Amino acid sequence: MSDSEKKADIVPVRLGRSSGFQFECHKGVSCFTKCCRGIDIILTPYDIIRLKDKLELSSEEFLAIYTEPQLYEKTDLPVVTLKLLDDEIRSCPFVRDEGCLVYDARPTTCRYYPLGVGNLSHGEEGGDDDKDFFFFVNEPHCKGFEEKKEWTVESWRKDQGVDIHDEINAGWADLIVRKRSFPPNVQWTPKAKEMFFMACYNIDAFKRFVFESPFLTKFDVDEAMIEKIKTDDLAMLEFGFLWLKDVFFLKEDENKTFKLKNQE
């Protein structure tokens, strides 16, 4: 059988939130932790906040030690991937034979497994089962599908806490979807990509940018919001998403969140 014939036999199954499946992962499953090796994981903005807080690191320290910057091919936007160990099986730096050292702060992709997400609009509140696109990550070694516990896609998302991750990351997903709709010849400057990277992934650097540059003298920001983002990383993250949307995706005549001072 040729490679093309083999590929023709693999029919992707599109799942919605109400789709059902059987799965369970625990230490008694023979393949336990094998899915944590030889992987490519894009970290979301909320993943980075959770992990750097878990490890008691600044965002700069976490990014330098545990991540690698990449360009997302479909958008030419910077994304962050988890840096794997330089061993024969490319292990996750946080996995041990007995399990994950950062399990309660594990990334969104890990929470979704054995599901994958086929679009970036799943963070919208309420959702639409006709528009949502999930699929199984079918790895030959995985024995979790032989377990008897039953789920729907939606109940799995809630059980794994990934619904909260999607809600917090929705602004970031919206930015990526907006950029993906641009014509291929519309490219951002390196400086624009740096700003996107900082606001989305390096929350400590973005906080310094807001409070230690002329930012607040240029934009009219509510005093209550200023006080909130000083200490709340999630508020600062949402603040950054809104600012990026204003600066890079909205036209001058559109209703922007950030108004220039002394300007109607």
Q: Do 33 and 152 sit in the same domain of this protein?
A: yes
Tokens in use for 213? 């540059």
Instruction: Provide the domain limits for residue 232.
Output: 183-260
- Determine the pLDDT at residue 131: 65
**Rounded CA gap, 208 and 230, in Å?**
10
- Determine the pLDDT at residue 259: 84
Q: Do 198 and 105 sit in the same domain of this protein?
A: no
Partners of residue 150 on adjacent β-strands: 22
Report yes or no on 76 lying in a domain.
Answer: yes
Report yes or no on 98 lying in a domain.
Answer: yes
Q: Do 144 and 194 sit in the same domain of this protein?
A: no
Q: Do 105 and 159 sit in the same domain of this protein?
A: yes
- Determine the pLDDT at residue 263: 53
- Determine the pLDDT at residue 11: 52
> What values do phi and psi take at 150, rounded to 5?
-105, 140
DSSP secondary structure, 150-191, as one string? EEEHHHHHHHHTHHHHHHHHHHHHHHHHHHHTS-TT----HH
- Residue by residue, pLDDT tens for the chain (264 residues) are 444 444 444 555 889 999 999 999 999 999 999 999 888 899 999 999 999 999 999 999 999 999 999 998 888 999 999 999 988 889 999 999 899 999 999 999 999 999 999 865 544 444 455 567 899 998 888 999 999 999 999 999 999 999 999 999 999 999 999 999 988 888 899 999 999 999 999 999 999 999 999 999 999 999 999 999 999 999 999 999 999 999 999 887 688 888 887 654
The 8-class DSSP code of residue 72 comes to E
- Determine the pLDDT at residue 126: 44
Question: What pTM value is reported for the model?
Answer: 0.89
Q: Which long-range contacts (CB under 8 A, 24 or more apart) does 122-125 make?
A: 122/166, 122/173, 123/166, 123/167, 123/169, 123/170, 123/173, 123/174, 124/170, 125/167
Q: Are strands 42-43 and 77-82 parallel, antiparallel or unpaired?
A: antiparallel
Number of domains making up the chain: 2
Q: Do 155 and 200 sit in the same domain of this protein?
A: no
* Rounded percentage of the chain residues whose pLDDT exceeds 70: 89
Q: What is the pLDDT of residues 18-48, one digit of tens each?
A: 999 999 999 999 999 999 988 889 999 999 9
Q: Tell me which H or E stretch contains 106.
A: none
Amino acid letter at 169?
A: N
From residue 203, alpha-carbon distances to 62, 140, 149, 176 in Å are 11, 38, 39, 18
Q: What is the pLDDT of residues 115-156, one digit of tens each?
A: 999 865 544 444 455 567 899 998 888 999 999 999 999 999
**In terms of C-beta density within 10 A (0-12 exposed, 13-18 middle, 19 or more buried), how is residue 122 classed?**
buried
Residue for token pair 């030690």? 65
Domain boundary pick from 139, 167, 195: 167
Report yes or no on 6 lying in a domain.
Answer: no
**Helix axes 233-249 and 203-212, enclosed angle (nearest 10):** 70
Domain boundary pick from 167, 198, 220: 167
